[in-house]
Amino acid sequence: MAIVTFSSPEYRDKTVYAVAGSHTQTLLKLARENKIPINFECEDGECGTCAVKVTSVDKKIGRMGGPLTEKEKSVLHAAGKLSKAEAEQMIVDDLPSPWRLACQMIVRDEDILVEY
């Protein structure tokens, strides 16, 4: 069970539980199920509208998250959220970037803070 806190300067923070492990539940799907107003358009990793900042707040483990696909990397790069250097460092460190596309990120068994 992962604890996901959604935080926005315009709304009250909302913390929800996510059943991780289905490998199909995206962050955007979880947000919509819980009426969190994250902006989105395509839901297919194309437009970059759903970019959110994700931070691990899990004390037990290091950052999990899934690897970014090439498509997610290029959309985040086009949106100015991920530089080429950061993308390369991400591969060296084997860590996901702080910015993710909510419609592409699969929720893992990790407590996270999502800023939108």
Give residues in contact with ligand FES (CB under 6 A): 40-43, 45-50, 75, 101, 103
Q: Smaller CB distance to ligand FES: residue 15 or 39?
A: 39
Q: Report the nearest approach of ligand FES to the CB of residue 83 (Å).
A: 19
Q: Smaller CB distance to ligand FES: residue 58 or 98?
A: 98
> How far is it, in rounded angstroms, from Cα 93 to Cα 116?
25
Q: Report the nearest approach of ligand FES to the CB of residue 31 (Å).
A: 11
Q: Smaller CB distance to ligand FES: residue 100 or 108?
A: 100
Strand order in the sheet with 2-8: 11-18, 2-8, 112-115, 51-56, 99-101
Q: What are the residues whose beta carbons fall under 8 Å from the beta carbon of 29, sequence distance 6 or more?
A: none
